[in-house]
Amino acid sequence: MYSFNELKKASRQDLDSKEIKLAVLGNCATQFFSKAIEGYAKLSGINLKIFDADYNQIDAQLLDKKSEVYAFNADEVLVWLATDKLYEEFLDLPLGMRNTFADQIMQKVQHYWSLISDNCSARIIQPNFTEIDDKAFGQYSCKVDSSFVFQIRKLNYLMQISMAERKNVYPVDILAVQIQLGHHIFYDAPLYYNAKMTVSMDALPYVAKAVVDVIKTIEGKIKKCLIMDLDNTLWGGVIGDDGLGGIEIGELGKGHAFWNLQRWIKQLKECGIILAVCSKNNEETAKEPFEKHEEMVLRLSDISVFVANWNDKASNIRLIQETLNIGMDSIVFIDDNPFERNLVKSMIPEIEVPDLPEDPALYLGYLQECNYFDTVSFTGESADRTKQYQAEYERRQSQMLFDSIDEYLESLEMIGEAKPFEPIRFARIAQLTQRSNQFNLRTIRYTEDEIERIANDDKYITLYYTLRDKFGDHGLVSVVIMEKRSEDVLFVDTWLMSCRVLKRGMEEFVVNGMIRVAKEAGYKKISSEYIKTAKNGMVKDIYKKMGFTEISDDKYIISVDEYEEKKNYIKEIFK
């Protein structure tokens, strides 16, 4: 973890990347807090510009529609209500009113959220509340609703419920940081009383990381895949030497640590993380525990790509990455062997390779603290992508049987469907805008609330596309938002697509659909643009390939009537 001085130095660095604006409002002193966030963001590759409001000016800034925070035009607004200040408010209340304190504060927070939502388009970053045990009732505080312990815990519960109902509010778990560090490290009483700072200098980097983790995920910088070694990583021992009965896995002895690690990894898979195996082993031997060991939590059905051979692991990871068609910087690789870790780090610097502790009992806690898989959205549709990737492996094997790509594509028996945005799809569409980086022409991120607003706004024409074939269902693979710029012209605000379906005619299928819908709505032209990012170079020339004419740098237009429909092997269903 970086020190505050390192973060302060990093905040002076300049990055050639998209600028993100963050406004910080607090009921405590936030200058050093903001500087730490800025520094950690720069170290994380994020060019963050911060507006730090004056001390305890939340109400003044949010109630005034012409305030500095609204003029700043922030992408995100962070509202910090420090527990130490809330405790002083609590003590000012008569005893008979203290049992409603949490409800009063929650009403205030919700009012802040509404003011922000009504007066600007910024997303809201909301830290939860650390705890103060004032021992007024001793251990009995947990049963007394007029105690501060009772109220602050109730407030955190109410906060969780309220945030679940607001799609543009993103939590920061500051309480978890306090628990991790301990109260005596997190809090510095002289610093609070002299400078009104509620977080110690030693704890600031940890708090900054928690905030930046959320900003990174909002901006699409997320981890999508966990690649795992096997021997002494997922189980104790070496399967090739110790045999099925000799490896350590299960509730007893050393196997308990590996068993709980697998249970956590299984949960990652259920939350949408892709699991893959990369092991130096004979494939048949490596698969045996997954197939036959009764105490294995992970099974072959949980693994999207299973690679076990005697090649170097960097080469095998590249094979996995190509099969999954995701960026290397979205992958985490875990291996107990320092040699293998260093090999992968040196040959694939973009990949995240944590240095696992020597003791397997510490693996799980270490990985949880690293927080590699932070997210800002979850939908049930992403909970089981494994079958999709397993089917993709079958497709790749099938492709080898054909003499031409056209024969192969025709054999897939693909069916594509295009429909306007509908409520059941809002969450998944928003998630795709937040997660898609490579095939994303303008890389505009939208919340679920914003997608709902666009879907119900006559100013826009929306389409989502699904694809299935004889091997399985890809699900929702592409999103198009077209804005009505004039009576004759539509502008492509958003076009993104899953890289899983590249080179199958889906690009042509999507553009055919865009043109068809535009023509049916009476529009003569479609204009578009490509906004370059560090990851979307693969689609720089896609509009040219689809028949659009470049009218200036990275800006394009096409005549609907002159468009020649592009050939593909996808059976069309448009609704």
- Counting residues of the chain whose pLDDT is more than 90, the rounded percentage is 72
| 191 and 122 part of one domain | yes
| 165 and 265 part of one domain | no
pLDDT band at 427 (very low <50, low <70, confident <90, very high): confident
What is each CA distance from 357 to 260, 297, 367, 368, in whole angstroms?
Answer: 16, 22, 10, 13
User: Is 20 a residue whose pLDDT tops 90?
Assistant: yes
Q: Where are the alpha helices (DSSP H) in 335-418?
A: 338-347, 363-370, 386-399, 405-411
Asked whether residue 30 is domain-assigned, the answer is yes
| 341 and 406 part of one domain | no
Asked whether residue 551 is domain-assigned, the answer is yes
pLDDT computed for residue 557 by the predictor: 95
Residue 569 DSSP label: S
Residue type, 10: A
| 212 and 360 part of one domain | no
What pTM, to 2 d.p., does this model score?
A: 0.72
| 507 and 362 part of one domain | no
Domain boundary residue among 168, 196, 218?
218
Q: Give the chain's mean pLDDT.
A: 90
Residue type, 397: Q
| 39 and 98 part of one domain | yes
| 476 and 511 part of one domain | yes
| 80 and 177 part of one domain | yes
User: Is 383 a residue whose pLDDT tops 50?
Assistant: no
Residue 118: CATH number of its domain? 3.40.50.1110
For residues 378 and 222, is the Cβ–Cβ distance under 8 A?
Answer: no
Domain boundary residue among 191, 218, 245?
218
Per-residue pLDDT tens for 447-483?
Answer: 888 999 999 999 999 999 999 888 788 889 999 999 9
Residue 487: CATH number of its domain? 3.40.630.30
| 564 and 474 part of one domain | yes
* Three-class DSSP labels, 287-313: HHHHHHCCCCCCCHHHCCEEEEECCCH
User: Is 574 a residue whose pLDDT tops 80?
Assistant: no
| 407 and 495 part of one domain | yes
Identify the residue with better confidence: 534 or 173.
173
| 436 and 364 part of one domain | no
pLDDT computed for residue 16 by the predictor: 44
Strand order in the sheet with 489-497: 549-552, 555-559, 525-529, 489-497, 472-484, 460-469, 414-419, 570-574
- The closest alpha carbon to 409, from 281, 275, 263, 571, belongs to 571
pLDDT computed for residue 33 by the predictor: 94
- Counting residues of the chain whose pLDDT is more than 70, the rounded percentage is 92
Annotate 108-128 with b (16+ C-beta within 10 A) or e (fewer): ebbebbebbbebbebbbbbbb
pLDDT computed for residue 473 by the predictor: 83
Asked whether residue 458 is domain-assigned, the answer is yes
Range of the domain at 17: 4-218
User: Is 130 a residue whose pLDDT tops 90?
Assistant: yes
Asked whether residue 387 is domain-assigned, the answer is no
Asked whether residue 396 is domain-assigned, the answer is no
| 242 and 274 part of one domain | yes
Asked whether residue 537 is domain-assigned, the answer is yes
Domain count, the chain: 3
Q: What's the average model confidence in pLDDT over 91-114?
A: 95
pLDDT band at 331 (very low <50, low <70, confident <90, very high): very high
Per-residue pLDDT tens for 52-63?
Answer: 999 999 999 999
pLDDT computed for residue 317 by the predictor: 95
Asked whether residue 550 is domain-assigned, the answer is yes
Asked whether residue 19 is domain-assigned, the answer is yes
Residue 235: CATH number of its domain? 3.40.50.1000
Domain boundary residue among 166, 187, 218?
218
Indicate left, alpha or beta for 286 from its phi (over 0: left) and psi (-120 to 50: alpha): alpha
